[in-house]
Amino acid sequence: MNTNQDLSTKILPDHLASFVEKMQNDGLDSEIIDSFTYYYRKVVNHEKGFIHDKDIIPVKPEEIPDLNGLKDYAEAGEKVMNQTVMIVLNGGLGTSMGLTGPKSLIKIKHDKTFLEFKMEDSKNLGIKLVLMNSFRTHEKTLSTIHQMGIKNQIDFPLSFLQYKFPKINRHDLSPAVWPKDTSLEWNPPGHGDIYSALFSSKMIHKLLAQNIRYAFICNSDNLGARVDKSLLGYFSKNDLPFLMEITQRRPLDAKGGHLAKHKHGRLILREIAQCPEEELEAFQDINKYRFFNTNNLWIDLVFLKDYVSKYKRIYLPLILKPGKLDPRDDLSPDIFQVETAMGAAISMFEGASAVKVSKARFMPVKGHNDLLAIWSDCYMIKKNKGLVPDPARESMLPISISLDPEFYRKIDMFFDRFKDGPPSLLQCESLTVKGNIFFEKDVKIIGKVHIENTKDTPAVIPKGTVVKHDIWI
């Protein structure tokens, strides 16, 4: 079903009153309701939030500064570290990995979670950590932090809630209803609501009162993202309102949001959901659109406060995301989620800029293939540097991993098949695993390896096995 075409040929009833009543009954404040109303009107008017090729121009490498050339700004960054905060987006459940709790609580290395690594990182840097939780992750995250027994309140992260939007039935644009689990009738509206949520939660006022001006924002699942003194110095010294970290696109990044220039001059971010179907080939052309958004962003909180004082609202470009009402149930109704991307602010804030960074600052865990790589000896944790590739792999990175989704997609299935820890991938170029296969302790993978079990019964790679060639079982 091509939902966009189907909807565009119908005159649908306006269910806004039902949405407003639903949001009021759930206790959402008027600012959130007004924001949803703005986007819902666009949906009813058949606006899809598309950004067309004809309206944008590819960015040339020489137009964007490179982090490697900004080392002289480190001293300036050091001077404002005490005015800097790290805001971590902690709203994701990781449903694509079969999770029902916060993704940030997965243990990924040295028996520590994403959250623990972010907390350690902020402590080592001497900066405050703030978590933006969703209604699905807030309570579990806070209870987990309390269980850590942190006695020093300085080390205890601050947190605030992003708001939520009601899901929209795709067939008639009415409020989605799911009596089995009414929480699934709502969705976090993407990370673009961070700017409004900073105000509705009063967090921005709390930070400014503590003389914190510069905010580094990153995803909880990206251990490569940390406050860099050179970047901070460049950002503060040049009095930039907003800075986006971008990196070179590779084939695996072809579906990630790319940077471009609007024909009117400003930088602009285009996500794949904002690309018309007939232009997807151009969108995924990594030689045409060469840089994508790492979702590592910097924003001047004083600028943001002044901007909102002047314009009252921040309405980012619409992203209309189709999906299932229950992401784990393919038989549940088709819905739309209204979302926005925080990187889209680059086109709204005058003077916003971008900087090229290496892949080392973009190492997210989007699925179990990524998780195995990070968990393995391909990467190591270095104090004051965070997660870094093992130096022995520098000539071989990146590694390509493909685990059979039938047997490795869910987190419990994944860890069950690596009970004794991950195989050594230090000398591995690529690993493909198909079928039901368990790995015992101290397995080593070398070169390009394909392992396949064609039988219905589970197979085992025994303890201490060194795999240099393809294996069919």
Give me the pLDDT at residue 153, please: 67
Mean model confidence pLDDT for the chain: 92
Q: Which two tokens stand for residue 205?
A: 């006022």
Q: Based on the number of CB atoms within 10 Å of its own CB, is 10 exposed (0-12), middle (13-18) or buried (19 or more)?
A: exposed
Residues 85 and 207 in one domain: yes
Do residues 327 and 415 share a domain? no
CA distances for 113 relative to 72, 106, 342, angstroms:
34, 5, 25
Q: How many CA atoms lie within 13 A of 171 on its CB side?
A: 7
Using the predicted structure, report yes or no on whether residue 1 has a pLDDT greater than 90.
Answer: no
Residue of 388 and 434 predicted with greater confidence: 434
Shared domain check, 399 and 355: no
Residues 230-268: pLDDT tens digits?
A: 999 999 999 999 999 999 998 878 888 999 999 888 999
Residue 385 and residue 334 share a domain: no
Under the banding of pLDDT at 50, 70 and 90, the label for residue 11 is: very low
For residue 391, pLDDT over 80 is answered with yes
Tens-place pLDDT, residues 147-188: 988 877 677 899 999 989 999 999 999 999 999 999 999 998
- What whole-number percentage of the chain has pLDDT above 70? 96
CA distance 71 to 90: 30
Would the CA dihedral through 35, 40, 46, 52 be positive or negative?
Answer: positive
- Domain count for the chain: 2
Q: How confident is the model at residue 397 (pLDDT cuts 50, 70, 90)?
A: low
Residue 341, token pair as written in the block: 């991307």
Distances, alpha carbon 149 to alpha carbons 88, 130, 142, in Å: 21, 18, 12
The strand pair at 84-90 and 128-133 is best described as parallel
Residues 390, 468: one domain?
A: yes
Return d(Cα 362, Cα 291) in angstroms, integer: 13
pLDDT at 6: 46
Instruction: Say which CATH number the domain at 380 has.
Output: 2.160.10.10
Task: Give residue 250's domain range.
Answer: 3-361
Tokens of 85: 């905060």
Both 305 and 435 in a single domain? Answer: no
Assign 338 a pLDDT band (cuts: 50, 70, 90).
very high
Last residue in a domain, options 361, 378, 410: 361
Q: Are residues 68 and 157 in the same domain?
A: yes
pLDDT at 3 > cutoff 70: no
Residue listed under structure tokens 């190591």: 380
Q: Do residues 176 and 57 share a domain?
A: yes
Range in 158-162, 283-287, 392-396 with the lowest mean pLDDT: 392-396
Closest CA to 104 of 43, 157, 152, 51: 157
- pLDDT tens digits, 405-458: 999 989 999 999 999 999 999 999 999 999 999 999 999 999 999 999 999 999
Domain CATH for 180: 3.90.550.10
Q: Does 7 score more than 60 pLDDT?
A: no
The residue among 338, 361, 384 that closes a domain is: 361
- Cα–Cα distances (Å) from 386 to 100, 114, 226, 293, in that order, read 27, 11, 8, 20
Choice among 93-107, 175-189, 198-212, 276-290 with the minimum mean pLDDT: 93-107
Statement to judge: residues 306 and 403 lie in one domain: no
CA distance 274 to 271: 5
At 320 the pLDDT is: 92
Q: Are residues 238 and 272 in the same domain?
A: yes
Residue 4 in this model has a pLDDT that exceeds 50: no
Give the integer Cα–Cα distance in Å for 33 and 18.
12
Q: Are residues 336 and 375 in the same domain?
A: no
Q: Are residues 71 and 178 in the same domain?
A: yes
Q: Check whether 13 has a pLDDT greater than 60.
A: no
* Listed residues 361, 392, 418: the one ending a domain: 361
**Phi, then psi, of 245 in degrees rounded to 5:** -85, 125
* Chain center to CA of 274: 17
